[in-house]
Chains A and B, each alone.
Chain A
Amino acid sequence: MVSITTEPIDMNAAYQHVSTDAAGAITFFFGTVRDNTQNRPVERLEYEAYDRMALAKMQEIADEAGQRWDVRKYAIIHRKGNLAIGDIAVLIAVATPHRADAFDACRYIIDTLKQQVPIWKKEIFEDGQVWVDAHP
């Protein structure tokens, strides 16, 4: 399943979703809100998504991962809106029969999501705000 939510990401629900007797391995990746960027303190993040396209791209990435590795179940969940330090911004969960596929598919999904999925984050500092990676 792929989803975009304004609610806190429920890792237990994601675990229930990917849990399957056919899997000998489940990997989870959590992208979390860090309290600084290059030592500049970050107060919070704001995420914005082009929901329709973002969901379609997330599904394409999941389908591609399923072509490359023996993925039995997966969850890709991205949060949007206002996030505080320590919040989970993105969760990737992959269940496969053996661990190598679980690690590789999970890595592929998060790396490709960061390159292709139309979601944007703004870092809010004490004295300003920056859309991440917008400028050279």
Chain B
Amino acid sequence: MSNRVSVQLFGITREIVGTSALTLDLPKTGQVGELLSNLKEQYPALTGLRSLLVAVNGEYAELNQPLHPNDEIALIPPVSGG
């Protein structure tokens, strides 16, 4: 079974990372918070954003939420619709 997850990127996070989707190894804890801190380490410009949330399967996720290989994960930089 794969322990990889894919992460969708939008707006400024897409520009910082340079792609609209990443495939990553699930972090050791399997939690949202570790995935986010790994990404911030790899792409330091992400730490300069006003906020950076993670959505899992279309819902805003808590940092301690567990991740699963088939989850639809997305980084959500500050929204600015309207």
Is chain B found bound to chain A in the same assembly? Answer: yes
Q: Which residues of A contact B (CB under 8 A)?
A: 31, 47-50, 52-54, 56, 78, 89-90, 110, 113-122, 131-136
Residues from chain B with a CB closer than 8 A to the CB of A56 are 58
Contact at A114–B82, with CB atoms within 8 Å? yes
Q: Which 9 A-B residue pairs are closest in the complex by CB-CB distance?
A: A119-B81, A120-B11, A132-B80, A131-B12, A114-B82, A53-B58, A134-B12, A133-B78, A133-B80
Task: Using CB atoms, name the residue of chain B closest to A58.
Answer: B81
B22 to chain A, nearest CB (A): 15
Q: How far is the CA of A57 from the CA of B53 in the complex (A)?
A: 15
Q: How far is the CA of A52 from the CA of B72 in the complex (A)?
A: 11
Choose one: B14, B50, B77, B82; the contact of A136 (CB below 8 Å).
Answer: B50
Q: How far is the CA of A120 from the CA of B49 in the complex (A)?
A: 14
Contact at B80–A118, with CB atoms within 8 Å? no
A-B contact pairs, 16 of them (CB 8 A): A31-B82, A50-B76, A52-B72, A89-B81, A90-B81, A114-B79, A114-B82, A117-B81, A120-B77, A120-B79, A131-B11, A131-B77, A133-B78, A134-B49, A134-B50, A135-B50
